[in-house]
Structures are given as C-alpha cells and as structure tokens.
Amino acid sequence: MTTTDIRGHQLTGATPAALRHYETALRQFALYVGDPVASVDQAIAASPDFVMAHAFRAWLHLLGTEPAGLPVAREALAAVKALPATTQEQGHLTAIGHLIAGRWQAASQTLEDVTVASPRDLLALQAGHVIDFFRGDARMLRDRIARALPAWSKDVPDHHAVLGMQAFGLEESGDYAAAEKSGRKAVELERRDSWAQHAVAHVMEMQGRQKDGIRWMENNTEGWSKDNFFAVHNWWHLALYYLDLGETERVLDLFDGPIYGARSKVVLDMIDASAMLWRLHLRGIDVGARWDWVADAWEPIADAGNYAFNDVHAMMAFVGAGRSEAIRKVFAAQAEAMNGAGDNASFTREVGHPVAKAIKAFGDADYDEVVRLLRPVRNIAHRFGGSHAQRDVLDLTLIEAAMRANRQALAAALAAERAAMRPTSPLARLFVQRATRLAA
C-alpha cells in the first residue's frame, strides 16, 4: 500500500490512520514539542510495514547523540530491511545506516541527495540540518536549506520550519541581518518554532546584544518553552545574556530552575548544564553541589565515547566535581574512539581529546598547559561540532588560563581580540581591564 503525504511524497506501507500519526510526529519534531517518539510508535502500530515510520523512529533515536539510541535505531533499520521502498525512502535508510556506523559525513551527503531530488522532504531537511550542526559544518547548515527554499512557500505546511533552519544556517555563516530577518519571520508564522527562536537568540549572542536578547526571549517564553524538548537550550541562551551582563544570581536561578532543576539525564540538556557551570567556574563563581548533580548524570555514560563534543562536556562536569575515575574513563573511551573507523575518530583526535586534556589541566591549575593545548585547536574547533556560541567556551577558557598563567602579552592580545568582536560586551571590557592590570 502506498499513501501520499501532505507535501506530495509517496509513503510505502502507510495506511490513512498511520499517516495521521506520522504527520503528527513530523509536526511535533519540526516544533520540538510533545512526544514524536510516541506518535511514530502509534504510526508503526497502525501499519507495521510503514517504511518511513520506522525510518523516523531511527532518526529520533540517533539525532540526540544518546548512546542508548543506537540499538533502537539498528532495530528500526532491521524492521524494514526486507520491505520495498521508494528511492527517496531508500535514501533515508542508507543515511541511517551510515550514521549508525558513525559515518557522519556520508549520512550528511546521502540526505543532501535526498533533498536535491525531493526538496520538500521536511524530515530529510531537518535530519540533515541537525547532522550539519553536529559536524560544525556552517556552509551546509546554510546551503542545504538554500537549495530547498524555492520549493517552499507559505502554502506548503510547516514552511516556518524551513525558514527557521535557514536562519540558523545564515547565523552560523555570519550573515546576521539575513538570519534575524528569516528567524523573526518564522516565529511570526509559528510562535512555537523554538528552533527559529533560538536562531535569532544566536544572532544576538554573537552581536553582543544582551538586552535585545533578553527581550526577544522573555517576550515569547510561553511559545518556546511550553511542552518543548528544546526549551532547556533556549533557557541556556537566556542565561548567557545575563552572564555576560554579570548578573550571576539570575543565572544561578535559571540553572536551578528551567535549565537543570529537573536533573535531566538527556545528553543535550546535560551539555547545557555542564557548559553553564563551566562558564561560572571560569568567572570564579562557587556553584556548590551543582557540579555533583551534573556529574551524576554523566557518570553512567562516561565511557560511551560516541561523540567528542559530549566527551568534553562530560569532562567539565567530572573536573568540576572532582571525579578522577570518571575522568579516566573519558580518556580511555577517547583513546578507543581515536582508533575507531567512524568520523568520531577525527572529531576526537583533532579537537575533542586536546580540549578534554585542557579542561583537566585547568582543573589542575596547570594554566600554561591549558594555553598550550587550546591555542592549536581554537581555530579548527568547528570540526567536533556545536555552534559558535557553544564553542565560545574554549575561547573563554583560553583567555582565563592566559590571565591566570600571567601570560601578559597573550592575555592582552586575546582580550583585545574579544573586545573588537564584541565591543558592547561587559565581559569583554572586564577582560581588557584585567589584562591592563596584569600588565601593570
């Protein structure tokens, strides 16, 4: 049986009842709301031979970089192995196979081919966009969406989601004006579009527009946070603005509330928690037992070694909490990953391992070693994924290490660099003041 979806694609094995659940899941995923996993499971229950429902189930368990998601994705792929599939569907299945095997680049390119042929395939666009983010590929974050845009209009369901992805790709490529315009348009069309909301938040973060950013986020809190599984990251963005302004009590309130009050064990939430505590740690703020909360969540997967970006954030928590055995497990997992066959071998070798060592060295107060390790990787750090805003923690760590190592000339140079890029940032001005005092 073949059914056609609302964007004109043929779906093998879909019944009308199953299609309704599938479309619900797509809508939920586009907005990051509700429970798309449950909706996809309902689609499979209604039609066990629904190829794209199984593919969607695999994507949902792969795109969070959760170690436990891999066996679920393998199971979903195995379920459709003997079923007929269209060329478009087969593209999804091939890409899923690549990502299960750790071939991030191959998965990205396969989905690129899918959307070149079928530019209205929202799932392929979104999965590819997320993979581009995890690979730190700013050009593809922008260009994958640009290629598809001519096939979309306000008359095509979920057009806002494509505009939101366009906004983030433009922001990561440095086209801030166009990014803000596209992101604002997406939120005007759908105020619950948390990815578009976040794309504009990135623009304001990169431009040092802290007060604009606070207004942007707080004026639509209900839209991007209610029943939204991307809400923690957007609360994190709001906290970044307050941190740059030096309002650390407000940051701690946000951390104890919507950022990590629920003690989430979702990897993407744990990354945000680690990253925020590390930024506070760099500023000399005592975070008390909060390090233990986050380290407890990372402990069960300390030896996962499936994605270098995760390793680094786990290391922040383990260094902050003084977990020496967990630190050893991260390094052991990284050693194994660097000998592996997937793309994470290079992610880890080129960036993840030296950064993890630098985080450990900072915890040991070996600030000269931090400087030695971070300087060679700061300009290639995109190779292990994340956004400019997330990777900024490496620059912040390097600046702080240079200050504490009494590297006067380097500290002054780094502070001047940051002030030039973020002239309105109170933190940037503070670095310049500290570097001046250090030189005196």
The count of other CB atoms within 10 Å of the CB of residue 376 is 11
Q: What CATH number does the domain located at 1-137 have?
A: 1.25.40.10
CA pair distance 33, 16, nearest whole angstrom = 23
425 with 208: CB under 8 angstroms?
A: yes
Residue 335 tokens, joined? 């050693």
243 with 279: CB under 8 angstroms?
A: yes
- Stated as kind and residue range, the H or E segment containing 232 is helix 231-244
Residue 26 tokens, joined? 């797509």
Domain extents in the chain: 1-137, 260-405
Q: What is the pLDDT of residue 3?
A: 86
Q: What is the pLDDT of residue 121?
A: 98
pLDDT in tens, 75-111: 999 999 999 999 999 999 999 999 999 999 999 999 9
Dihedrals φ, ψ of 337, to 5°? -65, -40
Helices 267-282 and 308-321 meet at what angle, rounded to 10? Answer: 50
pLDDT in tens, 342-388: 999 999 999 999 999 999 999 999 999 999 999 999 999 999 999 99
Best CA proximity match to 351, nearest among 326, 320, 376, 388:
376
CA pair distance 211, 222, nearest whole angstrom = 19
Q: Which residues pair with 12 in a beta bridge?
A: 2
Q: Does residue 2 have a pLDDT over 80?
A: no
Q: What is the pLDDT of residue 1?
A: 62
CA pair distance 227, 34, nearest whole angstrom = 6
Dihedrals φ, ψ of 228, to 5°? -125, 125
Question: Using 50, 70 and 90 to split pLDDT, how confident is the model at 412?
Answer: very high
Q: What is the pLDDT of residue 269?
A: 98
Q: Does residue 61 have a pLDDT over 90?
A: yes
Helices (H), 258-352: 267-282, 290-298, 308-321, 324-338, 344-347
CA pair distance 216, 53, nearest whole angstrom = 36
pLDDT in tens, 130-185: 999 999 999 999 999 999 999 999 999 999 999 999 999 999 999 999 999 999 99
Q: Does residue 233 have a pLDDT over 90?
A: yes
Q: What is the pLDDT of residue 162?
A: 98
CA pair distance 97, 290, nearest whole angstrom = 38
317-340: average pLDDT: 98
Q: What is the pLDDT of residue 440?
A: 85
Q: What is the pLDDT of residue 108?
A: 98
What average pLDDT does the chain have? 97
